[in-house]
């Protein structure tokens, strides 16, 4: 079956993520320099709002009829004049260093009022019908603050199915061959050799390229694929840093059951999905800690597609594919199990054994 290549959507998504990441990187450096308070939540707040505004501006310019589900809303900006002008100062000077690319995204936002209004265009309830973009302007808030991993995430869903995904990971190595190591979750930089842009279109594979390479050619990326692994004892698995986001205990028990000897690699954000998609790691486990928490679609949409297009499978702990068609959350799913297609069933079996032994 021939599938739509979504060429323009992919190009706009890639450039929008690249432009937003220029802003998040500036905030990251200003935080390190102490220009913004590094102890409170302000760096991430400034970065979230700024990145979301820039991405929505690009989407509205190119696809004005599409709906948008984005993580942030503007209430705080409307009540805090100082925060609003700090964000605006950053947004107004953030542009791609490529005039054609910048023009494609619609150029600068008009003024601070327009910026605040754009942020609120991300309030769609989501659902199973039509074209809906999902945005996480900074995923891995804690990683961003710690100087670890974070990601700028954008995906297009059509009738509830993810068709296009782009993930900008400023602090990951550019080199696809660099295996995940324990230190990747902290003390990272976005200096030379770092910053990768993962993308995928349903039915057309997944790619990576340097985040800094701005081009109007959406096919510039190198194809990526998961590592072929038949001996699961040699697998490398990754998980959240935050113990409140997934159960480190259950994940350790699953890994033990699979005979995995390497310690888990802890890192924030959808950088986990990108990393396993390019074979830097093999398995991503996100076992629920709470019976009531519903995963948010913007935390998974791009990563789910990128892993599946790289030869992986992504399901919840019950073996169901992630269902992006039911609103702003993955209300029909519990947890995430991502692994190469050939071994996913084995991993899922271990997940279910561990979970049922707890009952």
Ligand X SMILES: Nc1ncnc2c1ncn2[C@@H]1O[C@H](COP(=O)(O)O)[C@@H](OP(=O)(O)O)[C@H]1O
Which among 54, 62, 70 is positioned nearest to 19, based on CA atoms?
A: 54
**Cβ contact 147:188 at 8 Å:** yes
Q: What are the distances in angstroms from CA 21 to CA 75, 90, 93, 94, 110?
A: 23, 12, 13, 10, 20
Residue 141 among the catalytic residues: yes
Would you say 55 is a known binding-site residue? no
Interface with ligand X (CB under 6 A), residue from 207, 240, 251, 255: 240
Nearer to ligand X, 251 or 269 (CB): 269
Sign of dihedral through CA atoms 121, 126, 130, 136? positive
Q: How far apart are CA 140 and CA 32, in angstroms?
A: 17
Distance between CA atoms of residues 63 and 302, nearest Å = 18
Residue 353, annotated ligand binder? no
Cβ closest to Mg ion, residue 136 vs residue 176: 136
Q: Does 175 show up as a binding residue in the annotation? A: no
Instruction: Determine the Cα–Cα distance for residues 187 and 120; give it in Å rounded to an integer.
Output: 33
Q: Is 89 marked as a binding-site residue?
A: no
328 binding ligand X? (CB under 6 A): no
Assess 296 for contact with ligand X (CB under 6 A).
yes
Interaction partner, residue 66 (Mg ion, ligand X, none; CB < 5-8 Å by kind): none
Contact partner at residue 290 from Mg ion, ligand X, none, CB < 5 to 8 Å by partner kind: ligand X
Q: Name residues contacting ligand X, limited to 60-99 (CB under 6 A).
A: 71
Binding mask 125-164 for ligand X (x = CB under 6 A): -----------x-xxxx-----------------------
Q: Name the residue among 127, 102, 131 with its Cα closest to residue 4.
A: 131
Question: Can you tell me the distance from the alpha carbon of 53 to that of 277, in angstroms, rounded to the nearest whole number?
Answer: 28
Q: Which of 24, 86, 141, 207 is catalytic?
A: 141
Give me the active site residues, please: 48, 141
User: What are the binding residues?
Assistant: 71, 136, 138-139, 299
User: What are the binding residues for Mg(2+)?
Assistant: 71, 136, 138-139, 299
């Amino acid at each position: 079956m021939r599938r739509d290549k979504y060429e323009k959507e992919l190009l706009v998504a890639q450039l929008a993520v690249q432009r937003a990441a220029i802003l998040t990187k500036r905030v990251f450096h200003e935080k390190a320099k102490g220009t913004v308070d590094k102890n409170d939540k302000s760096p991430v707040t400034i970065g979230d709002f700024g990145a979301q505004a820039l991405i929505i501006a690009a989407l509205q310019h190119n696809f004005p009829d599409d709906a948008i589900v984005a993580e942030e809303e503007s209430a705080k900006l409307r009540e805090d004049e100082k925060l609003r002008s700090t964000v605006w100062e950053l947004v107004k000077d953030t542009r791609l260093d490529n005039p054609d690319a910048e023009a494609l995204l619609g150029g600068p936002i008009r003024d601070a009022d327009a910026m605040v209004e754009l942020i609120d265009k991300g309030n769609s309830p989501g659902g199973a019908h039509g074209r809906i973009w999902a945005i996480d302007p900074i995923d891995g808030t804690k990683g961003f603050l710690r100087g670890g991993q974070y990601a700028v995430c954008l995906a297009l869903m059509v009738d509830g199915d993810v068709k296009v995904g782009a993930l900008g990971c400023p602090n990951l190595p550019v080199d696809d061959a660099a295996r995940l190591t324990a230190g990747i979750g902290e003390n990272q930089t976005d200096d030379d050799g770092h910053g990768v842009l993962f993308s995928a279109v349903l039915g057309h594979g997944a790619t990576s390229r340097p985040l800094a390479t701005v081009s109007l050619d959406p096919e510039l990326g190198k194809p990526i694929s998961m590592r072929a692994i038949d001996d699961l004892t040699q697998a490398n698995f990754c998980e959240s840093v935050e113990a409140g986001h997934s159960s480190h205990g259950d994940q350790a028990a699953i890994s033990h059951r699979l005979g995995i000897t390497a310690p888990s690699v802890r890192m924030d954000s959808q950088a986990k999905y990108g990393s396993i998609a390019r074979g830097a790691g093999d398995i991503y486990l996100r076992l629920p800690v709470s019976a009531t928490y519903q995963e948010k679609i913007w935390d998974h949409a791009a990563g789910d597609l990128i892993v599946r297009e790289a030869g992986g499978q992504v399901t919840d702990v019950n073996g169901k594919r992630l269902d992006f068609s039911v609103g702003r959350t993955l209300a029909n799913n519990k947890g995430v199990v991502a692994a190469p297609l050939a071994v996913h069933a084995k991993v899922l079996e271990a997940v279910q054994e561990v979970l049922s032994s707890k009952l």
